[in-house]
């Protein structure tokens, strides 16, 4: 009987130790770190002009980075090889444009499908206004999506792609 009590006592001590270690290692965290937010992205279709006015010729995509900055990427299915193309993101609509130019850039045509990074990791842009003045404007994902604007891609005086951006 003495042997049984000795083993029971030893078994009880071992179980108490294991339970104590288990409970102290399972710490309840009142402020868990939230998982990183999934970056958002939205694309807007670009149409051709003239005979291609009903044909999709590309898109413009805005994506959010984890630091709240944004990227704006232009994808075109057609362009003129070795020609400099102008890209303009203009406030308003194509039918009722405003004088504010939100993004103005250029790229050299390849004659084939093309991807052009218009903005990379930006949080603000300089908006060109009438009279040649510029003002800094916040350009984060929500701000950009809420804009009423359109994008126009030009080769010289010819518009080769146009489409709404934002609302």
* CA 53/CA 51 separation, integer angstroms: 6
User: For 79-132, how does the pLDDT look when each residue is reduced to its tens digit (9 = 90+)?
Assistant: 999 999 999 988 888 888 888 888 888 999 998 999 999 999 999 888 877 777
Half-sphere exposure of 161 (CA within 13 A, CB side): 24
- pLDDT over threshold 60, residue 52: yes
What residue ranges do the domains of the chain occupy? 41-166
pLDDT for 137 equals 82
pLDDT at 27 over 70: no
Q: Is the model's pLDDT at 53 over the cut of 60?
A: yes
Q: What is the pLDDT of residue 78?
A: 86
Q: Which CATH architecture has domain 41-166?
A: Sandwich (2.60)
pLDDT at position 9 over 90:
no
- On the question of pLDDT at 28 being above 60, the answer is no
pLDDT exceeds cutoff 90 at 47: yes
Which pLDDT belongs to residue 84? 94
Q: What mean pLDDT comes out for the span 53-78? A: 93
Are 67 and 93 spatial neighbours (Cβ–Cβ below 8 Å)? no
Residue 158 has pLDDT above 80, yes or no: yes
Name all contacts of 29-38 with Cβ < 8 Å and 24+ positions apart.
Answer: 36/66, 37/66
Residue 132's H or E segment, with its range, is none
Q: Which residues pair with 104 in a beta bridge?
A: 88
- Rounded to an integer, the average pLDDT of 15-33 is 61
pLDDT-above-70 percentage for the chain: 77
Give the mean pLDDT of the chain. 83
How much is the pLDDT for 135?
83
Of residues 132, 101, 130, 97, the one with CA closest to residue 118: 101
Within 10 Å of residue 134's Cβ, how many Cβ atoms?
11
């Amino acid at each position: 009987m003495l042997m049984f009590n000795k083993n029971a006592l030893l078994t009880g001590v071992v179980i108490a130790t294991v339970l104590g270690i288990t409970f102290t290692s399972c710490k309840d965290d009142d402020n868990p770190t939230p998982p990183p937010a999934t970056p958002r992205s939205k694309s807007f279709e670009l149409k051709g002009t003239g005979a291609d006015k009903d044909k999709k010729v590309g898109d413009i995509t805005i994506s959010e980075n984890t630091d709240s900055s944004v990227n704006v990427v232009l994808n075109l299915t057609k362009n003129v090889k070795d020609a400099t193309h102008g890209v303009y993101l203009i406030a308003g609509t194509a039918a009722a444009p405003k004088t504010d130019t939100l993004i103005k850039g250029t790229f050299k045509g390849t004659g084939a499908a093309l991807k052009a990074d218009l903005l990379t990791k930006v949080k603000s842009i300089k908006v060109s206004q009438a009279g040649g003045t510029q003002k800094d404007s916040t350009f984060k994902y929500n701000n950009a999506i809420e804009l009423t604007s359109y994008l126009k891609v030009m080769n010289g005086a010819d518009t080769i792609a146009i489409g709404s951006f934002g609302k």
